[in-house]
Amino acid sequence: MVPGYSRLGFLARSAGWSRLPREALTGRTIAVTGSSGGLGEATVAGLVELGAAVEMLVRDRARGEAARDRVLAAHPDARITVAVCDLADLDDVRRYASDARDRLIALHGLVHNAGVLPEARTETAGGHELCLATHVLGPFLLTRELLPLLRAGSPPDRPGSPARVVFVSSGGMYTASLRTDDPEFREGKFSGGAAYARTKRMQVVLAELLADDLAGAGVAVHSMHPGWADTPGVAGSLPAFRRITGPLLRSVDQGADTAVWLQAAREPGQCSGVFWHDRVPRPTHYLPGGEEAPEARAGLWALCVDAVGPT
Ligand SMILES: NC(=O)c1ccc[n+]([C@@H]2O[C@H](COP(=O)([O-])OP(=O)(O)OC[C@H]3O[C@@H](n4cnc5c(N)ncnc54)[C@H](OP(=O)(O)O)[C@@H]3O)[C@@H](O)[C@H]2O)c1
């Protein structure tokens, strides 16, 4: 499993892939969170290359505009809007979504890419642990608030082309089971790695729950993991890992490939609630008996609904 996460795994698997048509996403508007660098920026580049118009959601406008300019340097005709949206701040998510509903006619895709791996337990202004807010609560709220736009991006006369919501999870989620007993990590000694893995597991389950919830709305919801890619986040949060894995790490384009493919390819438009890696559905558990109990799944849904409040 592990060598597959490296550049070698990508090179071996991608040898058999066919190229997506150059105009595959023409006429579609897709939002990407956390796109001021790393995999988010590479996802934006991959989407505009296929003709999409992109909403870059960033928490820092200057960093976002610098990333946009880098993408435009390679794709001068790209249609890109930079919008400030701090995923960890639920009020800011509501503010952004309201602005987007006023400005846009439809959204055909949403990529939940923003991610953090904090050293110490950090609380947002709203009182939530940072990983939980960034990876789970913010994306849940953003999906819900953008639903009118996503529904408009899923016309009933195009049943094979639903709007697509994609959670960028992590292979690290395999190390964690779904736990909702202490979601804010208030008990015990805090570990950034554990908070990250738990919330990345939550993203995979949340994608399945949203897939069921939105089946009638014609919106497909998937999760994926990018493998190990050399990004500013890995350099900053995992310097020892980066030193050891060095040349084996994927490029950002290789890491972003499946997130882009999930927006453009035919197969992910014909199913929902699937976990992908390198363009193939993958198991969400490798150990027998790891499946989440229905009560735990219901607990995650209740946690999200309680935290973000009524629609
Ligand atoms: N790289 C890998 O090997 C790897 C492996 C598995 C999973 N992933 C996942 O892939 C995603 C991208 O990772 P990366 O390696 O590209 O990380 P990165 O280089 O640290 O980039 C993370 C991006 O998220 C943004 N961000 C963080 N918190 C945010 C918030 N509250 N609101 C809006 N944007 C926010 C950051 O913005 P700033 O510029 O403002 O910091 C940055 O643009 C993450 O979800 C990560 O968990 C990555």
**Domain-wise residue ranges, the chain:** 2-11+28-308
Overall average pLDDT of the 226-248 stretch: 92
Q: What is the pLDDT, as a whole number, of residue 159? A: 64
Report how far residue 207's alpha carbon sits from residue 222's, in angstroms, rounded to the nearest whole number.
Answer: 6
Active-site residue, selected from the candidate residues 5, 96, 174, 196: 196
173 DSSP assignment = G
Best residue among 6, 35, 59 to mutate for probing ligand 1, ranked by most atoms within 8 Å of CB: 59
Q: Is 29 near ligand 1, meaning CB less than 6 Å away?
A: no
Instruction: Identify the residue whose C-alpha is closest to ligand 1 atom 42.
Output: 34
- Catalytic residue flag (residue 96): no
pLDDT of residue 289: 80
**Residue type at position 211:** A
Give nearest CA residue, ligand 1 atom 6. 170
Task: Quick: pLDDT tens for 29-66.
Answer: 999 999 999 999 999 999 999 999 999 999 999 999 99
Ligand 1 atom 36, closest CA = 34
H-only helix segments in the chain: 2-5, 7-14, 38-49, 61-74, 90-103, 130-132, 138-145, 147-152, 192-213, 232-237, 239-245, 252-264, 294-308
Judge whether residue 251 has pLDDT over 70: yes
Q: Is 232 in the pocket of ligand 1 (CB under 6 A)?
A: yes
Q: How confident is the model at residue 91 (pLDDT cuts 50, 70, 90)?
A: very high
Quick check: 277 and 6 in contact, CB under 8 A?
A: no
256 lines ligand 1 (CB under 6 A): no
**Averaged pLDDT, 268-297:** 94
Q: Which pair of structure tokens corresponds to residue 308? A: 């973000």
CATH number, span 2-11+28-308: 3.40.50.720
Quick check: 192 and 120 in contact, CB under 8 A?
A: yes
CB 254, CB 228: distance < 8 Å: no
Ligand 1 pocket, residue 5 CB under 6 Å? no
Query: Of 73, 60, 144, 137, whose CA–CA distance to 107 is shortest?
Result: 144
Cα-trace Rg, the chain: 18
Q: Of 244, 221, 92, which is closest to residue 165 (Cα–Cα)?
A: 221
For ligand 1, pick from 1, 85, 116, 203 the residue to mutate: most ligand atoms within 8 Å of CB. Answer: 116
Three-class DSSP category at 57: strand
Residues 6+ apart with CB under 8 A from 211: 220, 221, 222, 272, 273
Q: For a ligand 1 pocket test, name from 91, 119, 140, 231 the mutation site with the most ligand atoms within 8 angstroms of its C-beta.
A: 231
Quick: pLDDT tens for 129-176.
999 999 999 999 999 999 999 999 987 666 668 999 999 999 999 999
Ligand 1 within 6 A of 134 CB?
A: yes
- Least confident stretch, 110-114, 157-161, 244-248, 282-286: 157-161
- Protein residue closest via CA to atom 44 of ligand 1: 115
Please tell me the distance between residue 41's alpha carbon and the centre of ligand 1 in angstroms: 10
Length of the chain: 311
Taking a C-beta distance cutoff of 8 angstroms, is the pair 220, 164 a contact? yes
